[in-house]
Amino acid sequence: MNFLELINKCLLELNYKQVNSMAELVKNDHKRIITILNIINKEICNIEGWNFLLRRMNLSLPAGVSEIDNTVNGRILYLFIDGKKYNFSDNIEPFLTGNANAEAYSSFSDKLMFPKFDKDKTIDVIYYTKNCVLDAQNQEKTDFEAESDVSLIPMPFAEQLLVYGACLRLKANPQYFKFSYWLSMYKEALLNLKSKTSISALNAPVVNLFRK
């Protein structure tokens, strides 16, 4: 479901007139819906370590160099050098003084920091992308802009989460007659996203009931 379709689903839920193009979205509530859809899409993508946001890239670390630009577009999950896992350390002092642990890395400002090596190294990075949207050319980006843009959240979960979440935020009134329905549908979609997007059935969340 693309961006324009999501907006029209929101308008339908709110009993507003639907539109044929983005050019018709001129009212204040239209602009609020656009803003809220972007906010919720990013919030959902950032609340969990979702498999659908995992990406991989390589970085080059020249010999004798301990700092390189951090070009990773997101949050690092794993980092490997020569097949060995390097753990993140928030203590940058050893890296600044040249006494860093042999299998650790850190960050400072917009730099990644490593121990110095006497040979060039290739760094293998597994990370969660901070992008949340895919455009018509299959290019990832952070925000909905064009009507053909789609969320990286998989369907059918994206529709339920974004439409009902946006309606909840727009009305923001528990006394509104549809509020409870929207909230229950949003919660259901979030639980389904958590339970049904894992590749492994053994890794899906379960509920255990115990008798006293």
Provide the mean pLDDT of the chain: 92
Read off the pTM. 0.87
Does residue 51 come out as left (phi exceeding 0), alpha (psi in the -120 to 50 range) or beta? alpha
The dihedral sign for the CA sequence 80, 82, 87, 93: negative
User: Which pLDDT score is estimated for 62?
Assistant: 97
User: Which pLDDT score is estimated for 210?
Assistant: 43
User: Which pLDDT score is estimated for 206?
Assistant: 47
Tens digit of pLDDT for each residue in 153-174?
999 999 999 999 999 999 999 9
* Bond into 205 cis (ω within 30): no
User: Which pLDDT score is estimated for 203?
Assistant: 55
Q: Are 128 and 55 in contact (CB under 8 A)?
A: yes
User: Which pLDDT score is estimated for 196?
Assistant: 79
Q: Are 145 and 34 in contact (CB under 8 A)?
A: no
Q: Reply yes or no on whether the pLDDT at 87 is more than 50.
A: yes
Strands of 121-129's sheet in order across: 54-61, 121-129, 74-81, 84-85
- How far CA 18 is from CA of 5, 30, 35, 124, in Å, comes to 10, 10, 17, 47
Say how many C-beta atoms besides its own lie within 10 A of residue 151's C-beta: 26
Say how many C-beta atoms besides its own lie within 10 A of residue 193's C-beta: 20
User: Which pLDDT score is estimated for 211?
Assistant: 46
User: Which pLDDT score is estimated for 59?
Assistant: 98
User: Which pLDDT score is estimated for 199?
Assistant: 58
User: Which pLDDT score is estimated for 207?
Assistant: 43
Tens digit of pLDDT for each residue in 26-43?
999 999 999 999 999 999
User: Which pLDDT score is estimated for 102?
Assistant: 79
Strands of 67-69's sheet in order across: 67-69, 111-113, 104-108, 87-88
User: Which pLDDT score is estimated for 212?
Assistant: 46
Percent of the chain with pLDDT over 70: 93
Q: Which two tokens stand for residue 143?
A: 């925000």
User: Residue 101: pLDDT band by 50, 70, 90 thresholds?
Assistant: confident
DSSP for residue 199:
S
